[in-house]
Chain A
Amino acid sequence: MSSKREITISPTTRIEGHGKVTITLDEAGNVSNAYFYATEIRGFDYFLRGMEADRLPFIISRICGVCSTAHIIASVEAIESIYHTEITETARKLRELLLMGQTISNHSLVIYFLTLPDFYFPIEEDPSKRNIFQIMRERPDIGRKAITLRSFGARILDVIGKREVHIFSVIPGGLISPLQERERVGLLQEAENALAVAKEALTLGKELFEKNWNDFKKAGDYKTYYMALTRNDALEFYNSKIRVINPEGTTTSEFAAQDYMEFLEEKRYAWTYAKFAYLKALGWPEGIVQVGSTARMNVNATATTEIANRELQEFKKKFGSPAHATLLFDYARLIDLIYACEKAQELLTDKNLTRTDTRVKVEPKGGIGVGVVEAPRGTLAHEYTLTEEGKLEQMKLVIPTQINNEAINLNVKDAATEFIHNGEIKPGLLNRIEMVIRAYDPCIKCATRQANGRVQVEIRNSRGKLLKTL
């Protein structure tokens, strides 16, 4: 038998989508390579060809049940840019509010249900207990908070999007119907409550982070480029420019959504169904770039809301700007959450939100257009080519998880190297690997346009023989 080995973690749990990790060991029993890969594929890019533009947005948002709002808005914006449609101010505000609702419901899910168990329980905890349901048993108040926050996000989507999951109210030309005054008042009341809960989440998160920081900073620290949306140097999720900064924090490029595809390139590897996206100008692997919560903090100097701005400054002071440690994604996500709650409240306070001019007439035509929004996991772009008859000829989607794909792989290899020496596997390997993967909150469903959700780890020897599955 060869002395080379391979470790598999399968399925990787508490992430969205099916994934698997394989670690290959060399003769001496040390890590030679590690891969995080997607084991699923659906092929949205192909089977939607020929579809009419007017059905595209609500079908394509089915790529993912978690971030479907970001997808539908990016999709509609791409179509509007082809049609040269200028939507009204009211529609723009409502769309931004929808994105806030999306961010709140997604981040509360990720923070409480997926990553909190890692911070809350010691690493040796029995895996069957390391989940939100156990936390709820011990601390019912945390469970209630998780649900308050998530249901506020869901309420925004339900009221404005007309459905809690897979909203359909966003259409080319604006929104299908205006917001009613009583709906606005109702949401505003909930917003105050939600912000209070988000503040508590931040306090709890910071506390747990402080406690574990010495351990956490060991888990990956990659100095890469970062990309996020920005407006006047401030945090932004919708309808603004895209900025790229280098590992030292200097802006290297800033461009409009329409030019997005000129700056990003994709590549494929033999071992995964998910593609990798990188900065075209720098090539591979120099152009590895990260998106998501940390990237948003690194790219932007300020936030337009009070508490989020305070927290952002504190974040920069504590961890530097740009901050590189992988697990900071979890911390930055809390700032995102606070920002989304504050912004939602600010938008809902505006009485003009209930104006009835939510829709303008569209004039369908052919052409190429791009829509870019800041999805919970990072910058999301849809590019469509429409024929003169208004049918989809081609589409290209660049999904946050594709952009972070290489960074995730580097982190997995790092974690594996830390825990495996001379063929001996230290306990806690599995959880550490999954923690760094979870930090990116990867959505394999989106990255491969596939259905369902789970990751596995395999240990294989140099001949590819499976030795152990975790």
Chain B
Amino acid sequence: MYSPTFVDLKEVPNVDLAIVEGGVRTKEDENLIREVRAKSRILVALGICATHGGITSLGNIFSLRKLLEKEYSLVEKTQLPELEDLMYSICNFVDVDYYIPGCPPMPFLIVHTLKSIVSGKQPLRHQSVVCTECHRKIIPAKLDRLYGIYEKESDPQLCLVSQGFVCLGSLTREGCGAPCPRAGFTCFGCRGPPDSMMYRSRDMYAFLIRVIASRTGIAPETVKEELYRNPFIFHTFIFSKFERSKAREKVI
């Protein structure tokens, strides 16, 4: 067993199953993930950083390396691992057998996947969107603008989008049980895109604009303007170097 956080072994052994967390930011990470792939029969990517790039892929907004060269000009290249040009998810370098996205990934999904693998079965896949697991009622509204998460208190029964909040549930893979929208907090897409978004190169912006416009009654142009002003809302979807075609049929 190789797990630097818990066990003192320093070499990666040959294993049946490897679970990898975290993305690839340095050349050293890249070498390690290649080594792990070569030495394991089944490779599971766990958590949004490993599967899609996650929050850290926000670093792809601009060349982080350029900024760091200025800030870290003192850093000696020979002593520290060299940075990759961007933040990558591991599927950019190796083939992944199962993806368990989420930030954090839900414990029951991990348990289910591992049990299935051990007993030689295919794990149950979640293909639809978070809205299917959310109790909130979608009732088209007549609003004049969108609201920030902390701007007003939310109605406990009504769909958050219908209340003017930018909830990404309609764009995000189900399987988590919708804990965030259930508690009155907008989904921010930590499970990445659902199957439907992976088969075609669908424009996620256009899709979300349609959803928001139809549920709030705000004109699509206004919604578009509002969303374009705010690139951070979509970080999981647009900044990550996630290879959609490779991940088909493999996301749990």
Q: Which residues of A contact B (CB under 8 A)?
A: 10-16, 22, 37, 39-43, 46-48, 50-52, 54-55, 58-59, 62, 65, 113-114, 127-128, 130-133, 162-166, 168-169, 171-173, 176-177, 268-273, 359, 362, 434, 450-456, 464, 470
**Interface flag for B103 (CB, 8 Å):** yes
Contacts A15-B5, A47-B59, A166-B103; is A273 near B23 (CB within 8 Å)?
Answer: no
Contact B80 A62 (CB under 8 A): no
Contact B80 A273 (CB under 8 A): yes
Contact A39 B28 (CB under 8 A): yes
Contacts A47-B61, A453-B5; is A270 near B75 (CB within 8 Å)?
Answer: yes
**Nearest CB to that of A59 among chain B residues?**
B55
Which residues of B73-100 are within 8 A (CB) of A?
74-76, 78-81, 83, 87
A162 to B179, CA, bound (A): 7
Residues from chain B with Cβ under 8 Å of A55 in the complex? 149, 188, 232-233
Contact B184 A14 (CB under 8 A): no
Residues from chain B with Cβ under 8 Å of A452 in the complex? 21-22, 29, 49
Q: A14-B4, A269-B74, A272-B80 are in contact. List 7 more A-B contacts (CB 8 A).
A: A13-B7, A113-B6, A114-B5, A131-B6, A164-B107, A176-B185, A270-B76
21 pairs from A and B in contact (CB 8 Å cutoff): A39-B81, A40-B25, A47-B58, A52-B230, A54-B150, A55-B188, A127-B8, A128-B7, A128-B8, A133-B1, A133-B6, A162-B179, A162-B185, A166-B103, A168-B183, A169-B183, A169-B185, A270-B76, A434-B8, A452-B21, A453-B5
Contact A14 B180 (CB under 8 A): no
State the Cβ distance, A371 to closest chain B Cβ, in Å.
16
State the Cβ distance, B70 to closest chain A Cβ, in Å.
10
- How many CB-defined contacts (below 8 Å) exist between A and B? 159
Contact B26 A39 (CB under 8 A): yes
**Nearest CB to that of A171 among chain B residues?**
B150
Contact A176 B184 (CB under 8 A): yes
Q: Which residues of B contact A (CB under 8 A)?
A: 1, 4-10, 21-23, 25-26, 28-29, 49, 54-56, 58-59, 61-62, 64, 67-68, 71-72, 74-76, 78-81, 83, 87, 103-104, 107, 148-151, 153, 179-180, 183-185, 188, 230, 232-233
Contact A37 B79 (CB under 8 A): yes
Residues from chain A with Cβ under 8 Å of B28 in the complex? 39
Residues from chain A with Cβ under 8 Å of B83 in the complex? 41
State the Cβ distance, B5 to closest chain A Cβ, in Å.
5
**Nearest CB to that of B55 among chain A residues?**
A62
State the Cβ distance, A81 to closest chain B Cβ, in Å.
15
Contacts A42-B25, A47-B61, A166-B103; is A177 near B183 (CB within 8 Å)?
Answer: yes
Contact A37 B80 (CB under 8 A): yes
Contact A50 B25 (CB under 8 A): no
Residues from chain B with Cβ under 8 Å of A362 in the complex? 150
Contact B23 A128 (CB under 8 A): no
Which of B78, B104, B148, B184 is A166 in contact with, Cβ under 8 Å?
Answer: B104
State the Cβ distance, B143 to closest chain A Cβ, in Å.
18
Residues from chain B with Cβ under 8 Å of A40 in the complex? 25-26, 81
A62 to B29, CA, bound (A): 19
Residues from chain B with Cβ under 8 Å of A451 in the complex? 22-23, 25, 49, 54, 56
Contact B79 A13 (CB under 8 A): no
A169 to B55, CA, bound (A): 19
A355 to B1, CA, bound (A): 48
A270 to B153, CA, bound (A): 48
**Nearest CB to that of A169 among chain B residues?**
B183
State the Cβ distance, A15 to closest chain B Cβ, in Å.
7
**Nearest CB to that of A272 among chain B residues?**
B80
- Residue picked from B5, B7, B21, B26, most chain A C-beta under 10 Å: B5
Contact B58 A48 (CB under 8 A): yes
State the Cβ distance, A94 to closest chain B Cβ, in Å.
14
A359 to B185, CA, bound (A): 14
State the Cβ distance, B124 to closest chain A Cβ, in Å.
22
A176 to B186, CA, bound (A): 12
Which of B6, B68, B80, B103 is A14 in contact with, Cβ under 8 Å?
Answer: B6
Which of B5, B56, B107, B230 is A42 in contact with, Cβ under 8 Å?
Answer: B56
State the Cβ distance, A306 to closest chain B Cβ, in Å.
34
Residues from chain A with Cβ under 8 Å of B25 in the complex? 40-42, 450-451
Contact A162 B80 (CB under 8 A): no
State the Cβ distance, B151 to closest chain A Cβ, in Å.
8
Contact A128 B148 (CB under 8 A): no
Which of B7, B78, B79, B180 is A168 in contact with, Cβ under 8 Å?
Answer: B180
State the Cβ distance, A360 to closest chain B Cβ, in Å.
11
Contacts A164-B104, A172-B150, A362-B150; is A43 near B79 (CB within 8 Å)?
Answer: no
- Residue picked from B10, B64, B153, B232, most chain A C-beta under 10 Å: B10
State the Cβ distance, B231 to closest chain A Cβ, in Å.
8
Contact A13 B10 (CB under 8 A): yes
Contact B75 A273 (CB under 8 A): yes
**Nearest CB to that of B105 among chain A residues?**
A165
The 6 closest A-B pairs by CB, nearest first: A454-B4, A452-B22, A127-B8, A165-B104, A451-B22, A62-B55
Residues from chain A with Cβ under 8 Å of B21 in the complex? 452-453
A16 to B148, CA, bound (A): 34
A164 to B188, CA, bound (A): 17
State the Cβ distance, B26 to closest chain A Cβ, in Å.
7
A43 to B56, CA, bound (A): 8
Residues from chain B with Cβ under 8 Å of A162 in the complex? 179-180, 183, 185
